[in-house]
């Protein structure tokens, strides 16, 4: 933190000793909370809304015994509102991209650029552009990412080469990736994950997914059906399916979102739908709770939050992704957190008092309030 402090301000932090201990702090800090932590004394923290868009799972954390609180003469308490994207903290994420790119390039000099889409909530999805110089070069940089500081928390990383469009041109870069996906170039591994991640079977450790999309464009090899016809075919195999939507159908690997009423694992559906492999290339399963198959922005957020790649990704006969909420049906024993949502009564009260001017369409688009 002190290194970043100095980098942003372009000068070293001037430090002074704390009042009650020997820790040194910046002299112009606004607020200082001093105390002691006994690592053996733990209390349950949470749940509270966090930047992932979910309520943080309840976990035991050490307790700080406060000894002193001091401030400067005019302290500013800085904070951001967090929850489902898009929110204020995305600008901090995009700032860190630019700040840390040169530092990452010291470890991976062929890294040209990287980007964290706002609906990937920082560590859940990173797009990277590289100059591949040999076979497996993208996989080498994947491991470099997963071994450097807070980049080690990244769950899903997709790599393209220098001929790819801008990483922030989402429609173009998505098409570029979908034209180059090959299951042999998908790396699924295991490593540390953020403490806020809820999808893994255990805290702090979970699956990671890397996709090398630096190769040549693939030939389109799929028999496309309309959404209506494909939905009927899927429902004939599995009646619990309630909705279906296909995206990027002009690419070699269209993405099909399938929504179903969940009373069985998504893998059961995946195995049944193998009979339709000529019509499917990439399928993501979501459940009926707080999902809309016609909302790709929030679907991306849901998918990258809800999957553990080692458990929820299948590579044959087509690429399957289980983005449903997990429970005892999936033999998932950790508590599954709820979405961060706003009370509709509070929203209405703020509107009536003229504090906010927000449309119902926007509330629906970003799933700010609960369904119904």
Which residue, among 125, 72, 116, 113, has the nearest Cα to 94 in the 3D structure?
116
Residue 365 covered by a domain: no
| Model confidence at 47: pLDDT above 70 | yes
According to DSSP, residue 347 is labeled H
The pTM (predicted TM-score) of the whole model is: 0.92
Residue 169 bears catalytic tag: no
Residue 368 covered by a domain: no
pLDDT over 70, % of the chain: 100
Residue 138 covered by a domain: yes
The whole-number pLDDT of residue 140 equals 93
The whole-number pLDDT of residue 301 equals 97
Residue 150 covered by a domain: yes
The whole-number pLDDT of residue 42 equals 96
The whole-number pLDDT of residue 78 equals 87
Residues 61 and 169 in one domain: no
The mean pLDDT of 308-328, rounded to a whole number, is 97
The whole-number pLDDT of residue 181 equals 96
The whole-number pLDDT of residue 252 equals 97
| Model confidence at 34: pLDDT above 90 | yes
| Model confidence at 109: pLDDT above 90 | yes
The mean pLDDT of 183-198, rounded to a whole number, is 93
Tokens, residue 70: 């001091």
The mean pLDDT of 142-162, rounded to a whole number, is 92
The mean pLDDT of 303-330, rounded to a whole number, is 97
Residue 111 covered by a domain: yes
Which residue in 22, 28, 38, 50 is the catalytic one? 50
Residues 207 and 236 in one domain: no
Residues 170 and 105 in one domain: yes
| Model confidence at 339: pLDDT above 80 | yes
Residues 182 and 240 in one domain: no
Residue 350 covered by a domain: no
The whole-number pLDDT of residue 70 equals 95
**Nearest-5° angle of CA 43, CA 308, CA 176?**
135
| Model confidence at 8: pLDDT above 70 | yes
Q: What is the tally of structural domains in the chain?
A: 3
The answer to whether residues 154 and 115 touch, using CB atoms and an 8 Å cutoff, is no
The whole-number pLDDT of residue 302 equals 97
Question: How many Å apart are CA 273 and CA 192, to the nearest integer?
Answer: 33
pLDDT over 90, % of the chain: 81
Range of the domain at 181: 90-212
Domain boundary among 38, 71, 104: 71
**Nearest-5° angle of CA 284, CA 150, CA 64?**
110
Residue 362 covered by a domain: no
The whole-number pLDDT of residue 46 equals 86
More confident residue, 250 or 93: 250
The answer to whether residues 82 and 51 touch, using CB atoms and an 8 Å cutoff, is yes
pLDDT confidence of 372, banded at 50, 70, 90? low
Question: How many Å apart are CA 307 and CA 293, to the nearest integer?
Answer: 17
Residues 164 and 194 in one domain: yes
Q: Tens of pLDDT along 59-79?
A: 899 999 999 999 999 999 988
Give the full edge-to-edge strand order of the sheet including 282-287. Answer: 241-247, 255-260, 282-287, 319-322, 313-314
Residues 260 and 309 in one domain: yes
CATH of the domain at 238: 3.40.1670.10
The whole-number pLDDT of residue 37 equals 95
Number of H helices, E strands in the chain: 10, 14
The whole-number pLDDT of residue 273 equals 98
Q: Tens of pLDDT along 263-304?
A: 999 999 999 999 999 999 999 999 998 999 999 999 999 999
Q: Tens of pLDDT along 228-245?
A: 999 999 999 999 999 999
Residues 116 and 149 in one domain: yes
The whole-number pLDDT of residue 2 equals 84
């Amino acid at each position: 933190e002190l290194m970043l402090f100095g980098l942003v301000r372009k000068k070293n932090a001037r430090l002074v000793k704390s009042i009650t201990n020997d820790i040194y702090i910046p002299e112009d800090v606004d607020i200082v909370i001093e105390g002691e932590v006994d690592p053996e004394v733990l209390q349950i923290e949470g749940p509270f809304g966090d930047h992932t868009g979910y309520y943080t799972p309840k976990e035991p954390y050490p307790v700080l015994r406060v000894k002193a609180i001091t401030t400067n003469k005019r302290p500013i308490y800085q904070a951001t509102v967090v929850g489902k994207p898009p929110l204020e903290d995305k600008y901090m994420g995009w700032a860190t991209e630019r700040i840390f790119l040169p530092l990452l390039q010291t470890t991976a000099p062929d890294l040209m650029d990287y980007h964290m889409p706002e609906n990937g909530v920082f560590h859940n999805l990173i797009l990277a552009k590289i100059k591949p110089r040999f076979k497996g070069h993208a996989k080498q940089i994947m491991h470099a990412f997963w071994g450097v500081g807070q980049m080690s928390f990244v769950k899903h990383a997709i790599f393209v080469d220098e001929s790819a469009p801008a990483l922030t041109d989402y429609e173009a870069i998505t098409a570029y990736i979908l034209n180059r996906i090959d299951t042999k170039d998908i790396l699924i591994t295991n490593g540390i994950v953020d403490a806020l991640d809820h999808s893994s079977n255990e805290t702090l450790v979970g699956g990671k997914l890397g996709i090398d999309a630096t190769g040549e464009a693939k030939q389109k090899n799929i028999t496309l059906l309309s959404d209506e016809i494909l939905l009927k075919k899927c429902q004939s195999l599995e009646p619990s399916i309630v909705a279906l939507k296909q995206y990027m159908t002009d690419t070699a690997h269209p993405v099909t979102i399938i929504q179903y009423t969940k009373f069985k694992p998504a893998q059961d559906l995946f195995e049944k739908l193998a009979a339709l492999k000529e019509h499917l290339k990439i399928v993501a399963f979501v459940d009926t709770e707080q999902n809309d198959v016609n909302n790709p922005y929030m679907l991306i957020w849901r998918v990258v939050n809800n999957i553990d790649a080692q458990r929820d990704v299948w590579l044959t006969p087509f690429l399957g992704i289980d983005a449903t909420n997990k429970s005892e049906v999936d033999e998932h024993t950790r508590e599954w957190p709820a979405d961060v949502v706003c009370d509709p009564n509070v929203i209405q009260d703020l509107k009536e008092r003229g504090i906010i001017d927000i449309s119902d369409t926007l509330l629906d688009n970003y799933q700010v309030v609960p369904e119904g």
